[in-house]
Homo-oligomer: A and B are copies of this chain.
Amino acid sequence: MTGSQTNDEADALAANEAFYRAFSSGDLRLMSKLWAHLAAVTCLHPGMAELTGRDAVMRSFAAILSQPPSESLNCISPRVRILGKVAVVTCYEAAGNGPAHLAATNVFVLENREWKMVHHHAGPLERPVAVRSNGSMLN
């Protein structure tokens, strides 16, 4: 992102980064804190049917994070749009230093002045995309 980010954009991107940090470190407590408590939440894990409601989404992360990945799940080239009290972040996801193998849509809403996740959708890329050492895409 450029230096012309607004505070909302920077804060939404920080929430998005925290999601990947929670995922990579197996931190269920942080993951739970990141998701909305008031708004309805949904989650589309790669290739899977939709999970609806905080209980179902948190159960899925409890199962996933009970076996943290050997490599971190990195967010590559995030792009944020602020639409009122909603932030839509799109990015690619890569395991460790590997090529990006997933594309993600993450939607956040302002709750008590904090950006909270209301929807995560990650889906496989047909062809993994190489990533530069600075985190940007090669094409």
Q: Which residues on A are within 8 Å of B, measured CB to CB?
A: 39-40, 42, 44, 46-50, 52, 79, 81, 83-86, 88, 90, 92, 103, 105, 107, 109, 118-119, 121-127, 129, 137, 139
Known: A107-B107, A121-B121. A126 touches B84 (CB 8 A): no
Q: Which of A52, A86, A105, A118 has the most CB of B within 10 A?
A: A105
The residue from B40, B118, B121 contacting A103, defined by CB atoms under 8 A apart: B121
A79 to B124, CA, bound (A): 22
CB-defined contacts of A137 to chain B, threshold 8 Å = 49
CB distance from A111 to the nearest CB of B (A): 11
A88 and B126 within 8 A (CB): no
